[in-house]
Amino acid sequence: MAKRLTRGALIALVCIFVFYALAVYLIDPYMHYHAPWFGLKPQRSDDSRYENWGVARFFDYDALMLGTSVTQDARASEFAALFDCKPIRIKFAGSYFKELGDYLRYAFRVHEGIGQVFMVLDLTHVLTAPDTMGHTDNPDYLCDGDWRNDSQYLLNKDVAPELLRAVLNLSPIDFDWQTWKDPTGRETLLKVYGPGRPEQAEEQPFTGELREQVLANYNGNIFDTAREHPETQFYFVIPPGNAFFWDYTRREGRFECQLQGLETVLGAALSLPNARVFYFPDDEGKIFDLDRYKDRVHFDPAMMSEIISDVAAGRFEVTEETAAERVAHTREIWEGYDYEALYAEE
């Protein structure tokens, strides 16, 4: 009797696993195997990393908007209207160029006809190493093409809520969806950056080794892919940063490194015949308005809309002839800035 009960329990357990795996396969909330069936719609999960790979494979698009959380509130519809295309907007919050570059290569591998790429190159990533990763728990099994590790998906209990999300259509993917709900302004920034303001460090030199690291980061992760796809027009955006960003950069001894790193990046990007580069660190209308920032580099959705419009109109574009001048203007702005006034009591 005991053996029969044990055998029955094992069979029931196996049936549950099989039923669950079949449900995951058929509904496939992360679009690992196929686009949604049964009239279901693709859903936005709490971490876009999970559906991003399926979006690249199964959506109908001819343009890609790609970036970190700095670009998460960009409206794809605005880009579509101004650039006459059908874009998807892909964000990897907390990412670095290694992760973004992996996705860019993946998108070109699995999808044909990408005519335009709009990509924001964060100020905070200029001096990072090429293999820097913001997340170490990425769902690589969703894009590695290896079926042998699919049990991580098919039998993953954490996928269960996503099955319900898909069946009930709780959060359909919308490339205009915006998450901005954060307080902004000087007082908000002071609460974050005032207590931890670093002591003044000795200025670090921009060594040849650091220059090679900058080039390896941008070329290896991003620009080499652009070179491999001359049929695609790339729009690279260097976004604005406010006074708190430059104050920390200066006090940590990285001011000249950051500026010379930016000039190095501009030179590498402008060597690409299929790239246009737009530079906003010296846009005084954007960098000084602290009411539009929630931290050193994250600005409100309206500013991203302005940036998209600026790119479409060719405003703040940088060329080989103007690159050094634009970086020099940035240096002039922040060298003479009264940082102490940021922290002074009113």
| Domains of the chain by start residue, with CATH | 58-140+174-343 (3.40.50.1110)
**What is the pairing mode between strands 87-91 and 63-67?**
parallel
pLDDT surpassing 70 at residue 1: no
Helices (H), 145-254: 151-154, 160-168, 186-193, 208-218, 224-228, 243-251
**Would you state the pLDDT for residue 297?**
96
Q: Per DSSP, what are the bridge partners of residue 43? A: 172
Tokens coding 96: 């670095």
**pLDDT classification of 146: cutoffs 50, 70, 90:** confident
Please say whether the dihedral angle defined by the alpha carbons of residues 138, 140, 143 and 147, taken in this order, is positive or negative: negative
**Would you state the pLDDT for residue 142?**
86
Distance from C-alpha of 266 to C-alpha of 262, rounded to nearest angstrom: 6
Distance from C-alpha of 278 to C-alpha of 280, rounded to nearest angstrom: 7
Beta strand segments in 12-68, E? 63-67
Mean pLDDT in residue range 19-27? 96
Tens digits of per-residue pLDDT, 85-114?
Answer: 999 999 999 999 999 999 999 999 999 999
**Would you state the pLDDT for residue 254?**
97
Distance from C-alpha of 163 to C-alpha of 308, rounded to nearest angstrom: 35
Q: Angle formed by the axes of helices 76-83 and 301-313, to 10°? A: 10
CB 126 within 8 A of CB 145: no
Tens digits of per-residue pLDDT, 58-93?
Answer: 999 999 999 999 999 999 999 999 999 999 999 999
**Would you state the pLDDT for residue 134?**
82
**Would you state the pLDDT for residue 5?**
60
**Would you state the pLDDT for residue 200?**
94
Count of residues making up the chain: 346
Burial class (CB in 10 A: 0-12, 13-18, 19+), 9: exposed
Q: Per DSSP, what are the bridge partners of residue 233? A: 116
Distance from C-alpha of 237 to C-alpha of 123, rounded to nearest angstrom: 10
Q: Angle formed by the axes of helices 255-270 and 323-335, to 10°? A: 160
Neighbouring C-alpha atoms within 13 Å toward the C-beta of 89:
23
Tens digits of per-residue pLDDT, 191-236?
Answer: 999 999 999 999 999 999 999 999 999 999 999 999 999 999 999 9
pLDDT surpassing 90 at residue 143: no
pLDDT surpassing 70 at residue 282: yes
Average pLDDT for the chain? 94
Using alpha carbons only, what angle is made at residue 290 by residues 182 and 308, rounded to the nearest 5 degrees?
80
Q: Which amino acid is at 193?
A: Y
Mean pLDDT in residue range 4-31? 86
pLDDT surpassing 90 at residue 149: no
The secondary element (H helix, E strand) that includes residue 234 is strand 233-238
Mean pLDDT in residue range 239-262? 97
3-state secondary structure 286-333: HHCCHHHECCCCCECHHHHHHHHHHHHHCCCEECCCCHHHHHHHHHHH
**Would you state the pLDDT for residue 3?**
63
% of residues, the chain, pLDDT over 70: 97
pLDDT surpassing 90 at residue 137: no
Mean pLDDT in residue range 110-129? 97
